[in-house]
A and B are shown apart, each in its own frame.
Chain A
Amino acid sequence: MIRGEADAVEKSKPYPQLLVSGIVSGALYLLLYLYEREVMAAFTRTDDWYPALPVLAVFAFSFAHGAFAAYFWQVLGISARRRR
């Protein structure tokens, strides 16, 4: 059962959320682009807790960018359909 679908349809489109998540996601990718060398140097280290960095990074990006992608489809009107 798809929950909250009817509510989602009723609400206005989430433009503010799309904007905020887009800015956060864009900022993260911009940081990656600007600090590419430093990131690669730190993220391929194998001592201490450095190996955790790639894992933490993909979680952080997934959270921000995943939210952005979700709002993007919502704004376009593409959402799950109630089937049963």
Chain B
Amino acid sequence: MEHAVIQFIDLQYGDVLALLAIGFVGGLVSGFIGSGGAFVLTPAMMSMGVPGVVAVASNMCHKFPKALVGAHLRNKFGQVDVKLGLVMAASAAAGVWIGAGFQNQIMQNFGEAGSNLYVSVAFLIVLTIVGGFVLRDAINVYRSGETDTQDKTSRLARWVQSIEIPGTMMHFRTANIRVSALFTLPLGFATGLLASTIAVGGFIGVPGMMYVLGVSGLVASATELVIAFVMGFGGTIKYALHGLVDVRLALILLAGSLFGIQLGAIGTTYVKPFMIKVVMAAIMLIVAVSRGLVVPVYLTELGQLDFTPRTMAWLQMASFAFLVLALCVGAIIIIASMLRGHREGAMPVKESAPE
């Protein structure tokens, strides 16, 4: 696609303020759970009149330096496993490539409505299952009264860690795990596949690192920032080669998100470890509701349902409202738990034995 056909929008003051605010909240959530924000930023820019592809490109261009700043800060806190992040990112790149090809196939065969339906149903299924699982785990931790302890290693992760495949074993020092690359590769691949489908690979990457590899929530969410940096950097170059990046949008988003991501990263040192799971589950499940609301819209466009245009407009508006709600709920939980952590004073984190 040539840049000449793209109409870049005239930015109004209201748009700038909205981008600053949404950038800050998106950054706050990203700094805390390693991803998030992208699912609101892209549709928000599109609602301002930014063409979809430019919104995706500009979002990606703001994401990678933001992730770099977040990763650098959380690395100082000893939470980032750079090696695991790079290994996951390498296979995630392959996932993005395959996922993008698959998207193109769906677009060609079923048109834009078919593609939108596929993305929404993928969102709905993945977020409901994974988000529900993360929430159940967070509730179990809360009920057990062990909210101050580091995450327990899941049964699946203990099995994964027990498998010895000569020539493929890798040791990840910060994550404190030794697993076969044959497990990290498909996980990174799935992260990339999801990233190319719904633009938020972290919704698979972070829970995957926690429950499949046995990485703690703190380290998994911090390591996800490395993956986000690598993928965002690669994606930006790809879009910039086609002249699709609106650098003004990227830089305005950065102005807010660099404040947010640092606050979110600092926040991880104040809260109980299981709060990462609470925030992640809350956001994932609310986003799932948002995507569920637009499924009838796309089914109507495909002629499978018969909704009036007015009803479809309402559903789309409600869907966007739920996306904003997801981000706001995440930000409120983060700030509230930071304040609570601040009041309660320093709490030593106990290391726990496996289940």
Contact = CB atoms under 8 A, between A and B. Distances in A.
A66 B69 contact: yes
A34 interface: no
Nearest to A81: B269
Main secondary structure of the interface of A (DSSP, over half): helix
Nearest to A63: B65
A46 B243 contact: yes
Interface of B: 2-3, 6, 8, 61-62, 64-66, 68-69, 73, 76-78, 233, 236-237, 240-248, 250-251, 254-255, 258-259, 262-263, 265-266, 269-270, 341, 346-349
Interface in A12-41: 29, 32, 36, 39-40
A52 B240 contact: yes
Contacts of A75: none
Contacts of B349: 83-84
Interface of A: 1-3, 29, 32, 36, 39-40, 43-46, 51-55, 57-59, 61-62, 65-66, 69-70, 72-73, 78-84
A21 to B, nearest CB: 11
Contact of A84 (B237, B244, B266, B348): B348
B9 to A, nearest CB: 11
A61 B266 contact: no
A64 B348 CA distance: 35
Contacts of A79: 266
B248 A32 contact: yes
B349 to A, nearest CB: 5
Given A2-B78, A81-B341, 17 more contacts: A2-B269, A43-B245, A43-B247, A44-B8, A46-B243, A51-B237, A52-B240, A54-B236, A54-B245, A58-B64, A58-B65, A61-B251, A66-B258, A72-B259, A73-B262, A73-B263, A73-B266
